[in-house]
Structure 1
Amino acid sequence: MDGETDAAAAPKLITVHGTGAGSDEAQRDRWWQIGSPFMIALAERLKTPSEPVPFQWGLGDNSEEARRKAGAALLKTVQEEEKQGNAYYLIGHSHGGSVIYSALLHATRSGITLPGLMGWCTVGTPFMDYTPNKRMWQRMGEKSLSVFVSGVFAAIAAVIYVIFGLIDYDTATSAGHEYVVAGVMAGYALSAFLLLKLLERMRRKWFDRKHKLRLEEQFGHQWLGLWHNEDEAIAALSNVRHVYGDLVPPSFLKPAILVVQIIAVAIIGLGLINLVEDFVTIDDPGAFLAIFVLVALIVIAVIVFLIVWLISWVLKKLLGALGYPLAGWINRIVWRSVRERSWGDDIGPEEVSGVSANPPDFKREFAPLPEVVAAPLRGHSDRNAISTLNKVRRILGMAQGEKVSPDLRGELNDSLQWDELIHTSYFDVPEFVDLVALGLSRAGLGALRDGFVLPKSERDALETWLSGNPTLQE
């Protein structure tokens, strides 16, 4: 497709926003919207500007279920373009790239071909590799899990009845009855298991490895993967699986000893005082009574101390022994919840086995952005980070001497522009737009404008990087 193509036949550039970047408006200043600075800059570089078509998936929830639903919806959108005979190119930022990947997985699994697809580009996308949970019960919903549990209990009951039958070997009638019950229970357990396996095969929603390999075979040569080696989202989501610490220390149960000590002192002390009162009569002489009470109190104090010390020592050992496994269990649950919230992992039957800048099981991989693009992008983020840090410093200094405490949380939130992060700054850097324009041009979306001249060093570096990636050599 050359620059002489008229506007009516111009390919569509379907843009897909990332997590939390959605909007009800299709035309504004965000990179994926019509008329955005990025779209204007891109049009200045290509002879035949593509028609931008924003694909919106709500606000972009951090949810794998939402991303897959969006992927299915995106597939329907491109199928409409296919029906109209339109050529189109997909570009997505962050988890917008995950939505594109999901759409192509849906197409691959359903055997749908997309001849109108000119290519697809992911920008700073953290690809998460979902695999089915290893244990069958972890892949079940509530209803299936109920059937599974009943089958397990039936299997246990069958074993118990067999044991009873062996014990009652001298009573043939009784043993025969128990074997019949055991057979019924075992039959139910086996039927429940087979039924659940059959339903799982019929309802299976996850994408197998064969689908991922087929996706690469069908669409891999059209992929352009752009990512910075310091992208915060990719690094954070990749490394969070290795983050672990003792949020709950093994000694977390030991404060309970103090409560037990207070209760023990009160109970034992009152009990001993009541015991002493039984030996005291109203006829006792005053001096003798005073001495007796004093000695009794001393004895009570010693006895209470010894008993409480013994109880505390036993509790310390017991709670210490219980604290290690309980703390480990609680920490694992907490960190697993942190990982799942970070990943948006809300797909019950599956779990995240890895996070990468390249799609799962792809043999072809894109290297990080060349330094001619990476350096300006890094510099852009650094400059904005320094500016924001100065704002934060001034905001934190506002509290001193103020009669009314300022809304520090609101002030800090307003000071963040998200230009401080590389992950959210790609489309603001001219060198990155240059690279996207070159990639689109190589995909057939039009030649570069005659007036758009890159410095030779930059042009050579970008061309070398694009040519050096295996996805573009075929």
Structure 2
Amino acid sequence: MSGATYILVHGTGDAAPSAPGADAKWWEPQSDFTRELLAADPGARAEAFIWSGDNDELKRRAAALALLKVLRKRKDERIILIGHSHGGSVIALALRMAAAKRLDLSNVVRWTTVGAPFIQMKRKPLPWDRYNVFGQAVLAFAVITFSLFVMGFTSAVGLFGDLYRIGGAGGCALCLFLLWLSQRGASALYAGSARCRFARFFTNRWTSATARRDEAIGGLIRLPTLRPTLFNNRFPAPLFRTIVSLAFIAVIAVNWLFLGPLAPGVVESPLNSPILTALIDFHTEFFGFLFNNVSIFVILAEFVDKYVPSIIGTALFPVIIIAIYLAALTALLRLSDLLVGATIGRLVAGALNNSARGTILAKAYGNTTVGEDAYAVRTSPFEDVPGAAPMPPAADAALLAYARAHAAESLAAMHDEIFLMDPDDPPRALDLEALAGTLSWRELVHTSYFKVPEARAHIISLAVAG
């Protein structure tokens, strides 16, 4: 296909040029892949499309928009796109944007994705969740304005009423129009007609190469099944126990302060003592709402009044009452900890774990959008295509062997770095930067597509011949 222009789109974290003395990155002119690609298609040329490379959906869309502008400007050239990892996502987004604008981009004769995860996005169901804080403020203003407009329409009279009706309706309509404009771009990507045009225009021009053991693809596909348990059900229990304990300690302290001046007046029978009377009044006031205005202390006092004096007499009665009272509070505290604390623990831990899961999913998918949910990953950008075609067995096996061999080397280097010092030497701090430096990124299938000759040959055959 002489005269074609190959546009190479790198993936996440791969935007920087190769360091001096290091192997060239696959999209650079001096790389093995670029040289072999141009040798397979004499007369063609290759160039790189550089974008931020951040794992960020909004930046991927910005890159896709920039790529679309490049493709539209070069409508007289024969363009072949090759994208690795989220570089393939950028290409797919650019073509989806073209379909939304009813552009078939006939100059793009082929596009090939290599190990590309296609994030499945959907709009959040509730309008309130589709906007940022400013959009929510505008939506709230529109709703309030509309409500006032309805009230004014039914009650206002005279010139002021007419002006208010016009102004209220106009303000509400303007707010809703602005909100619609803010979501127009995202809505176009999800429109059924745009999806159909995307499939009709670009399915037959798409080829793909994805290894069966691609770690990034496999991990992202399985990520929705993640159920993290960062917080167990007993996580909030100590906090709950502390709060309840402090409350009971405060009640006991108030009791002692309240009853202290009356302590010398313990005389006569128990039920006639000022201490007992004060305790009953106090607990009826503070705990009556729990026991139908019947203090738990009254029940204890009546029980002790019948049985305790006949055993030990009345001299030690206040001590016994206080002991039983503290025991009852302890039992109540423990019961509340077991029942209420466990229930609260399950609810709080569940909410925190769900929040952690949502954060992990958003970070892994790079979902920085507002009003959209990333809910799955597929190996195909088209709804009616189940997935990317697998690589030939020979290339797939060579990729896996390459990654595993380098993983063994890196693990050995990491082991040496950890135990670099002699056991007899004084301890030294572990150098995390040096430890990370033992990784070459050749340990992963996902980052090794262009380093393995068999895989390179397969990708080139797809790009050149389809």
TM-score by length of 2: 0.76
1:64 paired with 2:62, answer no
Q: SS at 2:416's partner residue? A: helix
What SS does the aligned partner of 1:278 have? helix
The residue that corresponds to 2:376 in the other structure is 354
- SS class of match (2:16): coil
Which amino acid is the alignment partner of residue 208 of structure 2? G
Q: Who is 2:311 aligned against?
A: none
Comparing 101-110 with 206-215, which one deviates more in the overlay?
A: 206-215
1:318 corresponds to which of 331, 335, 340: 340
What's the offset of the Cα at 1:97?
0.4
Residue of structure 2 aligned with 1:76, choices 58, 66, 69: 69
CA distance in 2, matches of 1:137, 1:199: 14
Q: Quick one: percent identity of the two aligned structures?
A: 25
Give the residue type in structure 1 aligned to 2:26: W
Deviations 1:60-114 (A, max 9, x none): 11111000100011112223332xx322211010000011111111222223342
1:191 to partner: Cα distance: 7.9
How far does the alpha carbon of each residue in 1:106-143 deviate from its partner, in whole angstroms, 9 at most, with x for none?
Answer: 22222334232221110000011222222222222333
Paired with 1:237 and 1:226, the residues of 2 have a C-alpha distance of 17
Q: Alignment length, in residue pairs?
A: 410
* Equivalent residue letter for 1:50: A
Distance 1:193 1:138 in 2: 19
Instruction: Say whether the 8 Å CA contact 1:93–1:123 is kept in structure 2.
Output: yes
> Any unmatched runs of 5+ in structure 2?
158-162, 266-313
Q: Is the 8 A contact 2:119 2:378 kept in 1?
A: yes
Report the equivalent of 1:464: none
Matched, 1:416 2:442: no
Q: Residue 153 and residue 297 in structure 1: after superposition, are their counterparts in 2 closer, same or farther (change >3 A)?
A: farther
1:267-346 aligned at under 5 Å gives the runs 267-274=250-257, 277-279=260-262, 300-346=322-368
Distance 1:272 1:422, change over 3 A: same
8 Å Cα contact 2:102/2:197 also seen in 1: no
Q: Does residue 149 of the first structure (1) align with residue 140 of the second (2)?
A: yes
Contact 1:13 1:52 in 2 (8 A): yes
Q: Distance in 2 between matches of 1:318 and 1:193?
A: 47
- Equivalent residue, structure 1, for 2:226: 243
**Mapping of 1:352-391 within 5 angstroms?**
352-363=374-385, 365-391=387-413
**Counterpart residue type for residue 79 of structure 1:** R
**1:50-199 correspondence runs (5 A):** 50-58=44-52, 60-82=53-75, 85-150=76-141, 198-199=177-178
Deviation of the 1:374 alpha carbon: 0.5
Does 1:48 find its partner at 2:42? yes
Q: Deviations over 1:328-383 (max 9, x none)?
A: 22222211111011000111122223211111314375321121210101111111
Alpha-carbon deviation of 1:31?
0.5
Asked if structure 2 preserves the Cα contact closer than 8 Å seen for 1:26 and 1:34, the reply is no
For the structure 1 residues 158 and 417, does the alpha-carbon distance in structure 2 shift closer, same or farther, using more than 3 Å as the test?
Answer: same
Residue type matched to 2:412 in 1? N
CA separation of 1:92 and 1:195: change in aligned 2, threshold 3 A: same
Q: How many angstroms does 1:205 deviate by?
A: 1.2
Deviation at 1:274, TM superposition (A): 4.0
Instruction: Confirm whether residue 17 of structure 1 aligns to residue 10 of structure 2.
Output: yes
Please give the per-residue CA displacement for 1:193-246, whole angstroms capped at 9, x wherever unaligned: 766654454441120232232122112211111101211111111111121133
Aligned mates of 2:315, 2:55 — CA distance in 1: 71
8 Å CA contact 2:15, 2:51 repeated in 1: yes
The answer to whether the Cα contact below 8 Å between 1:398 and 1:406 also exists between their aligned partners in 2 is no
Bigger mean CA deviation after superposition, 292-301 or 14-23: 292-301
CA contact (8 A) 2:38 2:45 kept: no
Gaps of 5+ in 1: 162-175, 283-291, 444-474
| Change in 2 beyond 3 A, CA 1:197/1:152 | closer
Over residues 403-422 of structure 1, what are the superposed CA-to-partner deviations in whole Å (9 max), with x where a residue is unaligned? 24333422321011111110
Matched AA of 1:212: R
Structure 1 distance, partners of 2:31, 2:4, is 18
Q: Deviations over 1:384-409 (max 9, x none)?
A: 11111222233333476552433342
Q: Is the 8 A contact 1:14 1:53 kept in 2?
A: yes
Q: Which amino acid aligns with 1:107?
A: A
> Do 1:89 and 1:118's aligned partners in 2 also have CA atoms closer than 8 Å?
yes
In structure 2, do the counterparts of structure 1 residues 39 and 26 end up closer, same or farther at CA, with 3 Å as the change threshold?
farther
State the alpha-carbon separation in 2 of the partners of residues 419 and 262 from structure 1.
56
CA distance in 2 between counterparts of 1:227 and 1:248 reads: 36
Counterpart amino acid of residue 145 in structure 1: Q
Mapping of 1:201-280 within 5 angstroms?
201-203=180-182, 204-206=184-186, 207-208=189-190, 209-260=192-243, 262-264=245-247, 266-274=249-257, 277-279=260-262
Give the letter for the 1:66 counterpart: K
1:12 Cα deviation from its structure 2 partner: 1.7
8 Å CA contact retained: 2:5, 2:44: yes
Q: CA deviation at 1:281?
A: 6.1
TM-score where L is the length of structure 1 = 0.75
Counterpart CA distance in 2 for 1:295 and 1:107 is: 89
Range with greater deviation from structure 2 (293-302 or 322-331) = 293-302
**Cα RMSD over matched residues?**
3.7
Q: Structure 1 counterpart of 2:54, which letter?
A: D
- Residues 300 and 268 of structure 1: CA distance in aligned 2, closer, same or farther (over 3 Å): farther
- Deviation of 1:147 after TM superposition, in Å, equals 3.5
